Chains A and B, each alone.
Chain A
Amino acid sequence: MKYADEFRDKTIAQGLARAIGTEADPQRAYRFMEFCGGHTHVIFRYGLEDLLPANVRLIHGPGCPVCVLPASRIDMAIRLAARPQVTLCVYGDLMRVPGSQGQSLLRARALGADIRMVYSTLDAIRIAEQALDQEVVFFAIGFETTTPATAVMIRLARKKRLKNLSVFCNHVLTPPAMQSILESPDIRALGRAEIDGIIGPAHVSAIIGTEPYGRLAKEFGEPIVIAGFEPLDVMQAILMLVRQVNGGRYEVENQYSRAVKREGNHRAMVAVSNVFELRDEFEWRGLGPIQDSALKLKRPYAKFDAEARFVMHELPVVDNPACECGAILRGVKSPVDCKLFGTVCTPETPIGSCMVSSEGACAAHWTYGRGRDYQLRRA
């Protein structure tokens, strides 16, 4: 397939693997966190860890928007969808994410809630136009990648004077989460993951550019390489990180130059800043509350805010104490360290969201790496 096969070439991969093997110093360990769930997925799907020397290890990060959403937000959506006049539009990944007490949007739909899976924010517009007597709510979720599409939808809804469409906003920001991983006292207390470098987000960076990571690299002395989502992208990024570590450098480098520009996508950022502003604080699953880490609607667009329109309240939810999703999202633990992994927690009966989302670390381990995990456990 054009523009995909080129980035999946076995011979080039083997060349990169040889280079990593030659250049990685056998006397030291290289622990790189792939921030994005998209990278985790690629690493497992193509079995990239098999191509790396034993002292180059990958640690999964929190970059899966579904995984970092606390169960309390799912509960809010379920309560909202239970209202007879509400039609809730969601992206498919969210359907099976567990709320509290084994609830999920999929179950809520089976019990009669009007929940529609959509592929695009424009689907929500169409649904709202077709059902003017229904309150259509779009469950907006995602990092900076998906935020511009929500912004465009809200602008379009205002232009079309759609009064029955609103947004349940759960958009979050990457740099504050990365910073939280690198500095949070909460994480230090738990034994912060030893990270020698970060494979930075691909699509997020296409929107925000590479500059926002500069301060993090400098302040924390962490090499960061922005990488694309194809297997060769990830291999090349690993080689670039090895070289930075060897050279004692900690810079932001851009491996994904075919899509990411230093300054990002100006139009998309303007669209977002027209509609959204920072929330003071947002609760992240696994990372806890992080200041200035999420978005809410600006005042001129407040009437599109479902949380205000339906007076939605976030009620605290206590996660299953045995579930290690939190530590896994921080890179402190691996899915195989969790007692629930593969026993009571499977994709069919998920306890934590990391087992549900295709980009979650537990789902990736379960789906692609289970045999290896069995071996790890035996060892």
Chain B
Amino acid sequence: MRVKSYQRKLDIKNGCIDLSHGSGGRATTQLVLGLFHEAFGNEWLARCNDQSAFGVRSGRMVMTTDSYVVSPLFFPGGNIGSLAVHGTVNDVAMAGARPLYLAASFILEEGFRLSDLKAIADSMGAAARAACVHIITGDTKVVERGKADGLFISTTGVGVLANGLDLSAENARIGDRVLVSGCLGDHGVAIMSRRHNLAFQVDIVSDSAALHDLVAVMVAAGGASIRVMRDPTRGGLAATLNEIAHQSSLGFRLQEEAIPVKPAVTAACELLGLDPLHVANEGKLVAIVAADMADAVLAAMKAHPLGCDAADIGEAVADHHHLVQMSTRFGGGRIVDWLSGEQLPRIC
């Protein structure tokens, strides 16, 4: 039952977070009910407990957690809220699972505008509803001004794996094909285009999206022939494939010409001295699939709106150095290495 409001209404338009919102007192309850419950509204939250109980289904459960500290908080194609839903939903989905529930924790900086918080919570709620997952529990803390960059969000996701799959990065085998679900680098470039010291004009929006539906289509088409799925977020495709190469003790050989990258992303990367294969994605996946089923899985991906630019970009090969190598567009060969440190611009 709703607690009846008996204090001044939240001034979402002009108000901001102060320390009382994190004190556990009435202001905290007001913030939770008036802002978060409004945005996420569901039967579990409505019971106002510190936890939520839910039924366990047959099969295996999948659980993951992730923290979101993106800067700027709002970027073309989304904001930290939608990202916090999509990122965690995708981490659950990469096991081949169906995401069901999320928990969300908010660390808010004193002075953070309630209007921004509402916009972020609303977009979280919308993203969760679109992905058919429920945010069923959460937490809010407030720290003093200067102790956090506006807002950090942590989300934990739970899903169910009903199909008997066991996707894992050590499962890749020599001869397997490498599939990507679409154009790479959109999210990273969209974020960089809005960093205050870098602002440049580019028509690229973040690819932030929930991929579990695409995953379900792929699993239906490929079943256990799908060995590994990963979403190439930080460190981009290069980091993801290097991780899998090490975990599966093999190498990869890619064809640069087959890797889909939008011209505007290529151009922005040229300008900043970056490699699109190192740039983050938030709505793309990489799948390592047994060669005999790769075409069927690729066809299923292409038939899905989030996979229409999907491509087969290479194969797993024997390599005791576990390198990711690439035949360049130019006819030569090179390594695709992990990114070392932060991506830094070059100076001349």
Residues of A within 8 A of B (CB): 1, 4, 8, 10, 13-14, 17, 38, 44-51, 65-66, 91-96, 106, 117-119, 123, 141-143, 145-146, 203, 231, 346-348, 358-359, 366-372, 374
Given contacts A119-B345, A143-B348, A358-B346, contact A348 B340 (CB under 8 A): yes
Task: Give the Cβ gap from B271 to chain A, nearest Cβ, in Å.
Answer: 10
Contacts of B305 in A (CB 8 A): none
A51 near B330 with CB under 8 A, answer yes
Residues of chain A within 8 A of B330, CB atoms compared: 8, 10, 13, 46-48, 51, 231
**Cα distance A117–B341 when bound, in Å?**
14
In the A-B complex, the 10 residue pairs with the smallest Cβ-Cβ separation, listed nearest first, are: A47-B332, A92-B344, A347-B340, A50-B332, A368-B334, A91-B347, A46-B330, A47-B333, A145-B348, A367-B337
With the chains together, A119 CA to B263 CA distance in Å? 23
Within the complex, which residue of A13, A94, A371 is in contact with B323, where a contact is CB–CB below 8 Å? A371
Residue interface mask B309-348, A partner, CB < 8 A = 1: 0000000000101010101111111110100110011111
- CB A58 to nearest CB in B, in angstroms, measures 12
List residues of chain B with CB under 8 Å of any chain A CB.
Answer: 197-198, 263, 266-267, 270, 273, 319, 321, 323, 325, 327-335, 337, 340-341, 344-348
Most buried by B among A14, A106, A231, A368: A368
Chain B residues within 8 Å of A231, by CB: 330
B222 to chain A, nearest CB (A): 30
Name the CB-closest residue of A to B272.
A119
B344 and chain A: residue at smallest CB distance: A92
The CA-CA distance from A51 to B347 in the complex, in Å, is 28
Bound complex: CA A374 to CA B323 (Å)? 11
**Additional A-B contact list (14), CB under 8 Å, known A47-B328, A143-B348, A372-B333:** A10-B331, A14-B331, A38-B348, A46-B329, A48-B332, A51-B330, A93-B346, A94-B347, A119-B197, A123-B197, A146-B348, A346-B340, A368-B337, A371-B319
Set of chain A residues within 8 Å of B197, measured between Cβ atoms: 117-119, 123
**Contact between chains at A46 and B341 (CB < 8 Å):** no
**Shortest Cβ gap from A256 to chain B (Å):** 15
Least CB separation from A42: chain B residue: B330
Given the complex of chains A and B, what is the CA–CA distance between A51 and B332 in angstroms?
7
Chain B residues closer than 8 Å to A47, beta-carbon distance: 327-328, 330-334
Residue pairs across A and B with Cβ atoms less than 8 A apart, 26 shown, are A1-B263, A4-B266, A10-B329, A10-B331, A17-B331, A38-B348, A46-B329, A46-B330, A47-B330, A47-B333, A49-B332, A65-B348, A92-B344, A93-B344, A93-B347, A119-B197, A119-B345, A123-B197, A231-B330, A346-B340, A366-B337, A368-B335, A370-B335, A371-B319, A371-B325, A371-B335
